[in-house]
Structure 1
Amino acid sequence: MDLSLVLALVAVALSVLFLLVTRARKPSQRGKLPPGSLGLPVIGQSLGLLRAMRANTAERWIQDRVDRYGPVSKLSLFGAPTVLLTGPAANKFVFFSTALASQQPRSVQRILGERNILELMGADHKRIRGALAEFLRPDMLRLYVGRIDAEVRRHLDESWAGRATVTVMPLMKRLTFDIISLLLFGLERGAVRDALAGDFKHVMDGTWAVPVDLPFTAFRRSLKASASARRVIAGITRETKAKLERGEASRSSDLIACLLSLTDDSGAPLLSEEEIVDTAMVSLIAGHDTSSILLTFLIRQLADDPDTLAAMVHEHDEIVKSKGDGEALTWEDLAKMKLTWRAAQEMLRMVPPVFGSFRRATKDIEFDGYVIPKGWQVFWTAAATHMDGSIYPEPDKFNPSRFETQSASVAPPCSFVAFGAGPRICVGMEFARIETLVALHYLLRRFRWKLCCKENTFVRDPAPSPLHGLPIELAEHKAASP
């Protein structure tokens, strides 16, 4: 039978199933639903949004809906009825409402695991977040600076020095993956880390996709990569457990050891192996994917922004002058990189690594005069406020001064949401800042670059990716003497 016919029959069958399910789940409330349409069964508006993301028109796609229906509208995304909310007030509602539970699309749940921290609530979420926060508290982060410094220098020596051209995105992904896997999971360089890095190249491919497991789809590739990565992490978990039992590791050794050490009042483990593996999957993605995107797009921006480049180079030259060339960076040095971090925040505003995310209504709930029925998804997107000209004048212009103390106070609360907000604000935000600042310090001190592609575009699939991975012409730079 022809493959296209098979796929068509499957789609019809799923459509019928969707109709039966949605009728069975028809909300009992009598309130006013938001304007809009749920679209075709199962598919809804998912394909339209994904096409817009891949064509780099997703912000326009969102704005067109806002222009048509207002800041609150209903649609169907990834097989579930959804309410799109936009604007600072909507962001605050999404991040702080106790009636909204964190929920990712079914595709994300299947790939990252049913018990990952993004899905957990209540005591389970607090325990796992607490374990993550313990490893990311300031006194621990101080200890990480030197190890990140060494990893960045090694990476630049091996993969950048002496090269006429490099492709930035894959190199940044490997650098940040090596850093996070070393610091949070104790993975030294070698075959295991290489295998895990290979799997994570494809784990995110199908996270925003219609969750139909068919051959040759991005969703199937993600499922296979996820299964392979989970086997590796499960092996690491068992090895760490054995080390703890032999006294060769402690709760503070790494994140896996900490999660394994969590016990209840009777001394029984609080987390199953599945929960630990799921948490590790999310942590690996959060710890390397977003930072690598930020670094890549900053390199892209600085290639054609000589004024910002010169100001940042001066900032880093001054830091070296105060301590001597060749010395590793310290926590105190990072505090002096104020302009560099403002530039990073501005890049996060313009190209947020996470386009948007989902919540789930745990009960019928009202917002702006409309009812969001229990069980429906709520979708928020950073671009709705990040690119709002009434909040950030000339939003398409790269302007780090927006994030100076005085300027930042002008924007309404919950306008800048690159790291989220509220109880689920990114627990690794400070770690990402350290990783970014250390990497930029050595890149700016050692190299200059030009873009190889005249067409300076990018797509979202679902994370932003520049054309061809951002190939650049590279030249060694003689840094200013201290």
Structure 2
Amino acid sequence: MYLTIIFLFISPILLSLLFLFRKHISHFSYPNLPPGKTGFPLIGESFSFLSAGRQGHPEKFITDRVRRFSSGVFKTHIFGSPTAVVTGASGNKFLFTNENKLVVSWWPDSVNKIFPSSMETSSKDEAKKLRMLLVPFLKPEALRRYVGVMDEIAHRHFETEWANQHQLVVFPLTKKFTFAIACRLFLSMDDPERVRKLEEPFDMVAKGVISVPIDLPGTRFNRAIKASRLLRKEVSMIVRSRKEELIKAGKASVKHDILSHMLMSIEEETKDEDLA
């Protein structure tokens, strides 16, 4: 009887592991794949990739495999996705000159779980649409308009975060400075308290994107999903407020930031949560 109970308990686990293993192997059963290792099912080589980053040498993950397989292209499996890593100048040139021809930009499934969308379009289409929307803001004449804003934020940042400090940890301060600029240029958000309110969940999301996609309580991935919901809620409120400004004040007098440009460029039926 005890053996039967143990068997009934273990069987689903073994079947699940077998399913994961077969699915993992199937990703790499195609012919003409580059050399490389697939690691363990689901996890792949994610831990090795993250370990190299924590040691301060993220490039070691790539250089070790390039040397081991004597190839500028190798296969691996990180963050739940089968991956081909292309290195070197010729490899980068191939990718960038053949986008939407031989290769297509995409987001791994883990990102889609952190940033779910009710829209029927794929994340690839959304990424392409976003790049097109950002083009006007990346032109030289547009970038010149941001110099004064960035200079103002830099002065304030140095006065509040760097001045009269006996010890400085530069990396987190640099992230804080970059995030403040992004909030100003994307959302015209200049209130330090509001920026600080978004900073922590944004940091959780950023860490979750480059983590093993295991959605269990306490994992980075799980915390990223929760933080994403909080971010979407906060940004959705900003989107709704800006929409009201556009209706009342008109397009000519509205703030000239990326959010306003997106609202004037996208379809009206797009939900605030999806835009956020």
Residues 102, 119 of structure 1: 8 Å contact kept: no
- 1:242-288 deviation per Cα after TM superposition (whole angstroms, max 9, x unaligned): 1111125556622111111125xxxx5374434421xxxxxxxxxxx
Report which of the two has the higher share of strand.
1
Distance 1:110 1:10 in 2: 25
In structure 2, the CA distance between the partners of 1:76 and 1:209, relative to structure 1 (3 Å rule), is same
In structure 2, the CA distance between the partners of 1:56 and 1:170, relative to structure 1 (3 Å rule), is closer
Which residue of the other structure, out of 145, 148, 168, is the alignment partner of 1:146?
Answer: 148
Q: Secondary structure at the match of 1:120?
A: helix
Q: Secondary structure at the match of 2:124?
A: coil
In structure 2, the CA distance between the partners of 1:221 and 1:11, relative to structure 1 (3 Å rule), is farther
Distance 1:171 1:151 in 2: 13
Distance 1:207 1:247 in 2: 38
Which residue of the other structure, out of 107, 132, 135, is the alignment partner of 1:133?
Answer: 135
Report which of the two has the higher share of helix.
2
Distance 1:61 1:141 in 2: 35
Task: Write out aligned runs for 1:367-406 (5 A).
Answer: none
Distance 1:180 1:118 in 2: 25
Gaps of 5+ in 1: 1-7, 278-482
> How many Å apart are 1:126 and its aligned residue?
4.8
1:197 aligns with 2:199: yes
Aligned to 2:124: 120
**AA of the residue aligned to 1:63:** T
Aligned to 1:257: 260
> How many Å apart are 1:15 and its aligned residue?
3.4
In structure 2, the CA distance between the partners of 1:139 and 1:246, relative to structure 1 (3 Å rule), is same
Residues 24, 42 of structure 2: 8 Å contact kept: no
Distance 2:265 2:109 in 1: 29
> How many Å apart are 1:118 and its aligned residue?
10
- 1:134-154 deviation per Cα after TM superposition (whole angstroms, max 9, x unaligned): 223222222221222222112
Residues 207, 224 of structure 2: 8 Å contact kept: yes
Distance 2:127 2:216 in 1: 33
Aligned to 2:246: 244
Distance 2:12 2:223 in 1: 19
Q: Secondary structure at the match of 1:165?
A: coil
In structure 2, the CA distance between the partners of 1:252 and 1:195, relative to structure 1 (3 Å rule), is closer
> How many Å apart are 1:86 and its aligned residue?
2.2
**AA of the residue aligned to 1:84:** V
**AA of the residue aligned to 1:203:** V
**AA of the residue aligned to 2:173:** L
Distance 1:67 1:25 in 2: 24
> How many Å apart are 1:236 and its aligned residue?
0.6
Distance 2:224 2:201 in 1: 9
Residues 80, 110 of structure 2: 8 Å contact kept: no
> How many Å apart are 1:189 and its aligned residue?
0.8
Q: Percent identity?
A: 31
Q: Secondary structure at the match of 1:73?
A: strand
Distance 2:139 2:20 in 1: 45
- 1:429-450 deviation per Cα after TM superposition (whole angstroms, max 9, x unaligned): xxxxxxxxxxxxxxxxxxxxxx
Residues 107, 124 of structure 2: 8 Å contact kept: no
**AA of the residue aligned to 1:42:** L
Q: Secondary structure at the match of 1:102?
A: coil
**AA of the residue aligned to 1:273:** D
Aligned to 1:87: 88
> How many Å apart are 1:120 and its aligned residue?
2.6
Distance 1:11 1:96 in 2: 46
Distance 1:11 1:89 in 2: 45
Distance 1:79 1:10 in 2: 21
Gaps of 5+ in 2: 1-9
TM-score under structure 2 length normalisation: 0.80
Distance 1:210 1:10 in 2: 23
Aligned to 1:100: 103
Residues 233, 273 of structure 2: 8 Å contact kept: no
**AA of the residue aligned to 1:258:** H
- 1:405-451 deviation per Cα after TM superposition (whole angstroms, max 9, x unaligned): xxxxxxxxxxxxxxxxxxxxxxxxxxxxxxxxxxxxxxxxxxxxxxx
User: Could you say what the CA RMSD is over the residues aligned between the two structures, in angstroms?
Assistant: 3.1
Distance 1:43 1:9 in 2: 22
Task: Write out aligned runs for 1:19-168 (5 A).
Answer: 19-22=21-24, 31-71=31-71, 72-97=73-98, 98-113=101-116, 119-121=123-125, 125-168=127-170
Aligned to 1:234: 236
